[in-house]
Amino acid sequence: MIQLQAWKHFKTITHHRWLVCQGCFKVGLYWQGLTHDLSKYSPTEFRVGIKYYQGNRSPNGLERKDKGFSEAWMHHKGRNRHHYEYWTDLNLQTGRYESMPMPRKYLAEMVMDRVAACKVYQGEAYTPASALIYLESSIERTLLHPKLCRELHYLLTMMKEKGEKETFHYIKHNVLKGKPFPWEESEE
- Let me know if residue 66 belongs to a domain: yes
Whether the Cβ atoms of residue 118 and residue 134 lie closer than 8 Å to each other: yes
3-state secondary structure of 90: strand
The pLDDT of residue 160 is above 70: yes
Taking the C-alpha atoms of residue 162 and residue 82, their distance in angstroms, rounded to an integer, is 23
How many domains would you assign to the chain? 1
Of 25, 11, 8, nearest in space to 171 by CA: 25
**In this predicted structure, what is the pLDDT of residue 176?**
98
Of 78, 74, 152, nearest in space to 112 by CA: 152
**In this predicted structure, what is the pLDDT of residue 162?**
98
Burial class from Cβ neighbours inside 10 Å (0-12, 13-18, 19+) for residue 51 reads: middle
| 1-to-45, 48, 120, 182 alpha-carbon distances in Å | 19, 15, 22, 52
**In this predicted structure, what is the pLDDT of residue 55?**
85
Average pLDDT, integer, range 14-24? 98
Residue 116's domain comprises: 2-181
Of 53, 44, 97, nearest in space to 72 by CA: 44
- Let me know if residue 60 belongs to a domain: yes
The pLDDT of residue 63 is above 90: yes
- Let me know if residue 188 belongs to a domain: no
The pLDDT of residue 137 is above 70: yes
- Let me know if residue 83 belongs to a domain: yes
**In this predicted structure, what is the pLDDT of residue 2?**
80
DSSP state of 86: G
* Angle in degrees, CA 61, 124, 148, rounded to 5: 50
- Let me know if residue 50 belongs to a domain: yes
**In this predicted structure, what is the pLDDT of residue 161?**
98
- Let me know if residue 23 belongs to a domain: yes
pLDDT tens by residue, 68-114: 999 999 999 999 999 999 999 999 999 999 999 999 999 999 999 99
Among 1-10, 57-66, 170-179, which is the least confidently predicted range?
1-10
- Let me know if residue 187 belongs to a domain: no
What is the band of 150 on the pLDDT scale with cuts at 50, 70, 90?
very high
- Let me know if residue 44 belongs to a domain: yes
Taking the C-alpha atoms of residue 185 and residue 63, their distance in angstroms, rounded to an integer, is 44
Average pLDDT, integer, range 4-16? 95
